[in-house]
Structure 1
Amino acid sequence: MADFGNDALSDLYRRRDDVSTAYVDVSQDASDARRTSPTRLRAVRDTLSQAGAPTADTDAIAEILEQPPGVASPVSRFIVVRSGEVEVSEVLPGQPMGERILNYGPLPAMIPLLKHRPRDLRYVVAEVGRDGGEIRLYRLSRVQPLWRRDMTGDTQFITKVHAGGWSNKGFQRDAEETWKRNEGELAEVIDRLVRENRVELLVVAGDVRARQLLVDQLAPASRAVLAVVHTNTRPEDASNSALEAEVKKQLIAILAREEDDALNQLVADSNREGGRAEVGVGAVVHALQQGQVEALILCATGLAEKTLLALTAEPWVATAPEDALGAGSLGRVAAADALVRAAVLCGARVFVVDAEQLPERVSVGALLRWQTGPDLLGPAATRPATVISG
């Protein structure tokens, strides 16, 4: 199975064969924590079959849904299968962000996935002690780490001596140097991970002195994304709840800041002449066709009754056949799915938000990479009409 992140979703969207999508709440019944109920599986199979999904797809999806999710409830699964091959399978912790989806058609229904995680950022968790520590590299789309290493450093002078006498200061100095050297080795590994994987969050927990020594030796790029958990998670009987809570809080904060910034810019720029924003289905489709869109912001429920043409090549989306610019058509699909696909294929960010977060009577907006209005092209230039509704 391919390991898809947001950077690779364009490959998924370019494929032509019809695809099955499942977004299902798999929170486990306390009375049967090991398996999904037969009733739920039968309902999933029946709904997919009625939508036209082949047996190979329904079998693959049912097999995944039977597996314990591996994280505490509430939790959902998002699955994309094409011709029996699993292309996406993600466990999405937390409350479901929408109704169950079971469909078959020319495009995968990616809205639930993007609501859970607008993009697939990477982060590092380090639990450190004076003798070394454990480093784990994660991606938001995976419950298990992408990479992990347990490192044990020099332990010869790891314990400070408090016996007094002329040699006491020497022993203490040796112990401190040992700790510093051990944390320096950890810092080198962490710095490399941050640099090579474009890590956006580094969370450090563990022994208080080890944390201090590690942080002091981190490169500026690592310190710029650092969050410290002031608890020692290294002892075997220690709880990881504080560490897990801090990781979750920091990830939510990163994504929330980006969403807030995008929404604030949309409101500001859509209300001034020459602003780099468009609102409304028609204006956003036009911007996508021009490759102008830097970020797409939409409310899927507000677009529920609308459809657009999904195209087989650039410009990827159109409101009507005459606007397809010679590209073939996959047919009319849900407008939200068509817009998201076109945005991903244009390399734009995507934010799926609630209706109350957008300006009144607006269901979709776009931040633009550049503006082509009259203020840039002169008084004779014409700016595409801004459609406020939709």
Structure 2
Amino acid sequence: MHLSLLQPIIDRPGPWASVYAEIPHSTEDAAKQRELSADAAARQLAEQGADRATCDAVRATLANARADGEPADLSGRAVFATGGEVVLDAPLSGRPARSFASWSPLPRITPWAEAAADDVRCLVVYVDREGADFALHSDQGALDAGNVEGLDWPIHRTATADWSERHFQTAVENTWEQNAGEIAEAAQRVFESCGAQVMLLAGDPRERRSVHDKLPEPLRTVTYESDHGGRAAGADSTRLDRDITHVRAAFEHDHVTDVLNRFRAGADVGGTDPAYAASGVPALIEAAREHRIDTLILTPGSADAGREVWVGADPDQLAVRGTELQYLGETNPSAARADDALLRSAAATGAEAVVVRDPAEAPAGGLGAILRWSTPTQHQ
């Protein structure tokens, strides 16, 4: 999963209010329930030492939270606030695994990562021989991502065998090919700009196959085709929705499998060769300080996730012991959870995060990382 959503809270100093709450909106007393939930969260924060302004900001955000324009199953919120201001209000897919309010030196971002792990963003390209429409599908629903129009003449072939007609048919096929190329170029631009992770082509069978073949190789590896739905009004959308759900789930499963395989290969090098994977809090802390984490692996509820580490104001100021931070320029270190500290550091350096829900498949201790580079001393 990409961590760009967390950027507003990565470099900002705390302490932080982190609230995970269910936001009811489909019952008659939804407004009253939101107020009660908001009051409870603000009260919990105040009991933990949060300032009045921050408590009031959180209360107002939760009490006024509405799901207008959002899918009905988006019933949870992750709210992060500091200094009397809500800095990030992120909808969750479904209810939060656990509702709570926390006042801590770092924002409690790991539960957000756990909730967001399955929210694969799929760019659906509705293709015909004249162009394509784009829509980004995620747990937040479908968002219009634009369209592209190609040549509109000649488009249709004839059924005769006359030489002039055959020449015309060749021109038609050339138009199809040219339009397919323009659709492929536009699809690549939209895919890269909207943050999609997987792409699904729907619509005219010949044209979508041609579009698929014209995509650059890296994009083709995460592009699929559906026999359902299309660009025309009234096209079958129910079965296409099922295909979108299947593609999103399959991509997440395959991605986690690939990350774990790379992690194991990077750790199992043997001899004096450097390892390109790390596990255990001390090794991960060292890699995070040196900006070497490429992909952080998290396992909910694991032993190492809640281990106490020490952090400073900057994301790369983290240590196993507080005294170590004095050498990094931090004179007033704070205690924090290892998973939150490592996730903050990963987000700050553009790394990716992957949630592994099966402890049997996870790294020892539940935390691990694939590294951008290593040194001969990394292997243990």
Distance 1:55 1:320 in 2: 35
* Equivalent runs, 1:327-346 vs 2, <5 Å: 327-329=330-332, 331-346=334-349
Partner of 1:206: 203
Q: What amino acid does structure 2 have at the position aligned with 1:110?
A: I
Contact kept, 8 Å, 1:297 with 1:364, in 2: the verdict is yes
TM-superposed CA distance for 1:177, in Å, is 4.8
State the SS of the aligned residue for 1:301: coil
Aligned with residue 247 of structure 1, among 215, 219, 244: 244
Partner of 2:287: 287
Partner of 2:51: none
Structure 2: where are the runs of 5+ without partners? Answer: 47-53
Q: Could you tell which deviates more after superposition, 308-317 or 84-93?
A: 84-93
- Taking only the aligned residue pairs, the percentage that are identical comes to 22
State the SS of the aligned residue for 2:302: helix
Q: 2:257 aligned with 1:260, yes or no?
A: yes
Per-residue CA deviations over 1:183-236 (Å, capped at 9, x if unaligned) read 444334224445667865332101223324434554555534421111242332
Q: 2:47 aligned with 1:46, yes or no?
A: no
Distance 2:302 2:317 in 1: 21
Distance 2:194 2:33 in 1: 43
Q: What amino acid does structure 2 have at the position aligned with 1:124?
A: L
Partner of 1:115: 114
Contact kept, 8 Å, 2:201 with 2:224, in 1: the verdict is yes
Distance 2:299 2:220 in 1: 36
User: How many residues of Structure 1 are paired with residues of Structure 2 in the alignment?
Assistant: 366
Distance 2:156 2:338 in 1: 64
TM-superposed CA distance for 1:26, in Å, is 4.4
Q: Could you tell which deviates more after superposition, 343-352 or 114-123?
A: 114-123
Distance 1:267 1:343 in 2: 20
Q: Could you tell which deviates more after superposition, 159-168 or 259-268?
A: 159-168
Partner of 1:380: none
TM-superposed CA distance for 1:71, in Å, is 1.7
Distance 1:44 1:169 in 2: 71
Tell me how large the CA RMSD over aligned residues is.
Answer: 3.9
Q: For residues 113 and 139 of structure 1, do their structure 2 counterparts lie closer, same or farther at Cα, with a shift above 3 Å needed?
A: farther
Q: For residues 370 and 243 of structure 1, do their structure 2 counterparts lie closer, same or farther at Cα, with a shift above 3 Å needed?
A: same
Partner of 1:322: 323
TM-superposed CA distance for 1:314, in Å, is 6.3
TM-superposed CA distance for 1:165, in Å, is 8.1
State TM-score, norm by structure 2: 0.77
TM-superposed CA distance for 1:88, in Å, is 2.9
TM-superposed CA distance for 1:179, in Å, is 4.1
State TM-score, norm by structure 1: 0.75
Distance 1:220 1:282 in 2: 38
Distance 1:160 1:55 in 2: 67
TM-superposed CA distance for 1:257, in Å, is 3.1
Partner of 1:135: 134
State the SS of the aligned residue for 1:145: strand
Distance 2:74 2:139 in 1: 17
Q: Could you tell which deviates more after superposition, 202-211 or 180-189?
A: 180-189
* Equivalent runs, 1:148-297 vs 2, <5 Å: 148-149=146-147, 151=149, 153-154=151-152, 157-161=154-158, 175-194=172-191, 200-220=197-217, 222-267=219-264, 270=267, 272=270, 274=272, 275-297=275-297
Partner of 2:313: 312
Contact kept, 8 Å, 1:296 with 1:343, in 2: the verdict is yes
TM-superposed CA distance for 1:16, in Å, is 0.9
Distance 2:358 2:163 in 1: 72
The higher relative CO (CA closer than 8 Å, separation ≥ 6) is in 2
